Amino acid sequence: MGQTFGTYGPYNRVLSVVEEMEGLEVVNSRLRRRLEFGYFSSLENFAVTVEDATGRRAVIEFNKGTEAFEESNQARLREIVWERAQRGFATSDTRGVE
């Protein structure tokens, strides 16, 4: 996985955590960056679509300026991902749908 610091650090940390978790698989992900000064960019938000063993899907979003976005503790980040995935599974029937 990519570097866990710098512009893409938050995104790479989340991908790494999800890939290590049993019961969840990364299906898709997206990034939104803001380009500044023609060459410098910052990560504004990102989302990861995860799927469980039964085929349910949930979109987990992270926004710049939130605690979850900046979290670097692997154990806490795992809790955040799991909680958000479970909430996403409960609020939508996304089985097999992108």
Q: Is the pLDDT of residue 20 over 80?
A: yes
Of 4-8, 53-57, 70-74, 76-80, the least confident: 4-8
**Three-state DSSP state, 56:** coil
pLDDT of residue 37: 73
Q: Is the pLDDT of residue 58 over 90?
A: yes
Neighbours of 41 (CB within 10 A): 14
Would you list the domain boundaries of the chain? 9-91
Separation of alpha carbons 36 and 56, rounded Å: 38
For the stretch 61-98, pLDDT in tens is 999 999 999 999 999 999 999 999 999 999 865 444 44
Report residue 64: phi and psi, to 5°.
Answer: -55, 140
**Three-state DSSP state, 11:** helix
pLDDT of residue 49: 97
For the stretch 34-48, pLDDT in tens is 777 766 778 899 999
**Three-state DSSP state, 44:** strand
Provide the token pair at 62. Answer: 């992270």
